[in-house]
Amino acid sequence: MRMIRAAVAGASGYAGGEIVRLLLGHPDMSVGALAAASNAGTRLGVIHPHLTPLADRVLVETTPETLAGHQVVFLALPHGASAAIVDQLADDVIVIDCGADFRLADAQQWQRFYGSSHAGTWPYGLPEMPLPRGHKGREALSGARRIAVPGCYPTACTIALGPGFVGGVLEAADVVIVAASGTSGAGKSLKPHLLGSETMSSMSPYGVGGTHRHTPEIEQNLSAAAAQPVTVSFTPTLAPMPRGILATCTARVKPGVSAATVRAAWEAAYRDEPFVHLLPQGQWPRTADVLGSNNVHLQVALDERTGRVVAVTAVDNLTKGTAGAAVQCANLALGLPEITGLPTVGVAP
């Protein structure tokens, strides 16, 4: 089989660098053009010293010309920047967008949370997303030429609660999610509140009061799982770690639902998923255990006193939360085995 050439736009950022890392270990894809904006003309090794095999590669400008001639183009660009590039790429090129531009189906929600015109909606790149029978998830990605990679928080939250809605054990109202993310989730641009002296030994909330941009995406996904509108109170927090997400998600159970029924719903949803691991009862997810892998660690319990399910997920926001999902979707679009080139073993300690 001929190697598939893949370009990465936004290769100087955290997500773009992680895509390159995964492509270096992919047996069927080779790294083509590495594009950037302000960092164009810089050696990759100056920005990502850990990517040793490509350290001498020079970043090129992000233009349709530099991205042409590749079978796959990964876009790791700021929100709102992908649409203009995509319009100038050939229809037969597989484009995997890690930004938010094409995730939302509701144009009004996009305009409300992102403040610009809605570019459209692409197949949603979460193969493991629980959906009611008859709805396409993974099938819609097979052979697709345009795929929108989910946000990192929506990945963790959807996988956490989706089985309860598909299984009919959760109420659609009063869903509450509090999730902690490492600082890499905010990108690589210099920001005073992300300085080491500001984040070390400190946690802080942000996007409080339903203002975080991932809120409508989480609601969109859980509503699809429930086949009815689901509203979510979502509060993200910044944790003093470089990467990782720990999402604690709760929802009311329907009357008469037992702990055994809850467990069975989650087991049924993920029994055959290569990257989602429902942990043995009593063992809870930790961000350290998924570091550098495309895995999701998950645990679920029923708080019988309050009548709420508590589902906790841990993901690496840069791997399964972004770049790993992008490569996973590219594999499906190309007709390759879904797990190709994706790490299923974390790094410890």
**C-beta separation of 341 from 28 below 8 A:** yes
Find, among 223, 226, 249, 251, the residue nearest to 236 by Cα: 249
Find, among 225, 282, 228, the residue nearest to 259 by Cα: 282
Q: CA 130, CA 337: separation in Å to the nearest integer?
A: 20
Instruction: State yes or no: is 152 an active-site residue.
Output: yes
Phi-psi region of 292 (alpha: psi -120 to 50; beta: other; left: phi over 0): left
Close Cβ partners of 344 (under 8 Å, ≥ 6 residues apart)? 274, 275, 293, 294, 295
Cβ atoms < 10 Å from Cβ of 310? 17
DSSP string covering 71-86: SEEEE---TTSHHHHH
Count Cα atoms within 13 angstroms, Cβ side, for 188.
17
* Identity of residue 278: L
**Catalytic site residue from 152, 157, 249, 329:** 152
Catalytic annotation, residues: 152
